[in-house]
Chains A and B, each alone.
Chain A
Amino acid sequence: MRVVVDLNRCQSYGQCVFAAPEVFRFQGAESLEYDHVPDAGSDQAVERAALACPAQAILLGRSAEAGVVSQAVAAEMR
């Protein structure tokens, strides 16, 4: 699972910090920090956090695609 928070939308309600404290935390009174690539064991907690966000600012990537650095395929791409 990958996570990104739109920190423009985020209004620091802290619901994610409560739902998944191992992934989301406050650094200062209103500044959210988080792990973009949490451990697999946190998946459920992260999903709870995304559901609970009042600003719906948490985007989760469930895509299983690997990040392939692909150069070989380019030859036939003309």
Chain B
Amino acid sequence: MTPRRIVIVGASLAGLRTADSLRANGFTGELVLIGDEPHEPYDRPPLSKAVLAGRTGTDRLFLPSAQDLNARRLLGVAATGLDLAAGEVRLADDRRIGFDRLVIATGSRSRPWPVPGEAALRGVHLLRGREDADRIRADLTAGPRRVLVIGGGFTGSEVASSCHDLDIPVTVALRGAAPMASALGEAVGTAIGARQRAHGIDLRVRTTVTALHGDAEGRLRRVWLSDGDELEVDVAVVALGSVANTEWLAGCGLAADPRGVECDAAGRAMGLDCAVVPDVYVAGDVARWRHPHFDAEPQALQHWGNAVDQAEVAAHNLTHRHQRPATALPAFWSDQFGLNVKSVGLPHLADQVVLTQGSFERGPFVAAYGRGGITVGAVAVNSPRVLDGYAALITERAPFPPAINATDSPADATVLSAGSNSAESSGPALTTVHGGQS
């Protein structure tokens, strides 16, 4: 039966792409797009890169839709509740919007600095939305003495890179052993970290921030680090990962918590009894699911590409009887310090890693990741045109380490311990999986 009204809660990439794909799939019924930000959907990956570095503005990031959406857009109003029995979404202004089918695409937000008084200092920022980016950009153009980036995930590293583009001194403090180690593992994270240092970044691993101090006007001036150092800093960007926007789903009967809303690979939301809830789909950062290719716990894949893939799967499944699972291999990218970092598969699952092309020290390189003797991921640095070969290896569950034997393969490929999330999973210091500031 074709639904008459589909309501999409969340008007960022996943929500917009769901709407776009619904129209592409021939859905002609009523479409409602609800978003808490008072903007049309915009692209987030540039916020930490081109926007902070001043190469583009936040008012120039609007996302296109290929189809005429013919959607009612309720923007600038958050959803605050879900009544599954009545088939209604409750909004912040107490209005109720009825639906035949619902798509949950409310995304995630930055994990805040845990000390409220310090978090409130002027100059201390999170980076999630365009207002955040505008505020940080304004602080960067004011000529800060030094910027402190708290957290060495992708967002933190990209912020540091943008500061470097602006010739602003940067310190990055991270709890783990290397930047991006929770996503890429220690070996690759260390290789990229060395290149960050070569650009003059003050990179402090296994270091936490013990205090942020402001002046009489409440402006950040000074920070204390766990290594005993004290730095004069005017801007701090807190990049400690994210939490899913699921508070509005409290008590509605869906399996939702700060890690996300649990759903199956077809995007169908699950109830607390682990059964599929009819007519409710989940897409994007907020979706917590088990990718059918990987033997792993359900997890949120907070990647730009995951939002696109899941939106297309949800749109297909909302308009077809046959429910298609999301099977596309996860992929993400990051651009920083003149390096293009691209990943395919799920490197963070790996227990082992091996350099397969190039060199960790200089120039382009590719590393393959294995778990239990199976190739599960690959990361390419400034080598975007060979990654499809690795995708094929991951798809066919090729033995690890894979034989590449390319002309630029190292003569002796030592298999290293991946050392990724085992060491990191305890703390909130790094994002779990992150791509392109999704």
A–B proximity contact (CB within 8 A): yes
Count of A interface residues, CB-CB < 8 Å: 37
Partner of B385, one of A6, A11, A68: A11
Q: Which has the most chain B C-beta neighbours within 10 Å: A1, A10, A59? A: A59
Q: Is A41 in the interface zone, CB < 8 Å from B? A: no
Q: Is B200 in the interface zone, CB < 8 Å from A? A: no
Instruction: State in angstroms the CA–CA spacing of A63 and B62 once bound together.
Output: 12
If A8-B304, A69-B73 touch, whether A3 touches B64 (CB-CB below 8 Å) is: yes
Nearest-neighbour CB distance to chain A for B80, whole angstroms, equals 14
Contact call B384/A11, Cβ cutoff below 8 A: yes
Instruction: State in angstroms the CA–CA spacing of A1 and B63 once bound together.
Output: 10
Contact call B95/A74, Cβ cutoff below 8 A: yes
Nearest-neighbour CB distance to chain A for B119, whole angstroms, equals 29
Contact call A33/B32, Cβ cutoff below 8 A: no
Q: Is B231 in the interface zone, CB < 8 Å from A? A: no
Q: Is B369 in the interface zone, CB < 8 Å from A? A: no
Residue of B nearest to A61 (CB): B64
Instruction: State in angstroms the CA–CA spacing of A23 and B35 once bound together.
Output: 29
Q: Is B322 in the interface zone, CB < 8 Å from A? A: no
Q: Is A40 in the interface zone, CB < 8 Å from B? A: no
Partner of B338, one of A2, A31, A74: A31
Chain A residues closer than 8 Å to B95, beta-carbon distance: 74-75, 77
Contact call B333/A8, Cβ cutoff below 8 A: yes
Q: Is A30 in the interface zone, CB < 8 Å from B? A: yes
Partner of B97, one of A2, A62, A74: A74
Chain A residues closer than 8 Å to B39, beta-carbon distance: 67
Q: Which has the most chain A C-beta neighbours within 10 Å: B70, B338, B383? A: B338
Q: Which has the most chain B C-beta neighbours within 10 Å: A1, A10, A73, A77? A: A77
Nearest-neighbour CB distance to chain B for A35, whole angstroms, equals 6
Chain B residues closer than 8 Å to A62, beta-carbon distance: 64, 66
Proximity bits, A19-46, B CB within 8 Å = 1, else 0: 0000000011111010111000000000
Residue of A nearest to B303 (CB): A8
Instruction: State in angstroms the CA–CA spacing of A10 and B388 once bound together.
Output: 12
Contact call B335/A31, Cβ cutoff below 8 A: yes
Mark the stretch among B53-61, B221-229, B396-404 that contacts chain A: B53-61
If A4-B63, A69-B76 touch, whether A30 touches B384 (CB-CB below 8 Å) is: yes
Instruction: State in angstroms the CA–CA spacing of A64 and B387 once bound together.
Output: 36
If A6-B308, A12-B384, A27-B55 touch, whether A73 touches B62 (CB-CB below 8 Å) is: no
Contact call B382/A30, Cβ cutoff below 8 A: yes
Chain B residues closer than 8 Å to A63, beta-carbon distance: 64-69
Partner of B382, one of A29, A59, A74: A29
Residue of B nearest to A7 (CB): B333
If A7-B304, A71-B74 touch, whether A36 touches B60 (CB-CB below 8 Å) is: yes
Proximity bits, B295-335, A CB within 8 Å = 1, else 0: 00000000011001000000000000000000000011101
A-B contacts, 25 of them at CB < 8 A, read A2-B64, A3-B64, A4-B64, A7-B333, A8-B331, A10-B384, A29-B338, A30-B382, A31-B335, A31-B340, A33-B46, A33-B56, A36-B43, A36-B46, A36-B56, A36-B64, A37-B60, A60-B66, A61-B64, A61-B66, A63-B67, A65-B65, A65-B68, A65-B69, A67-B62
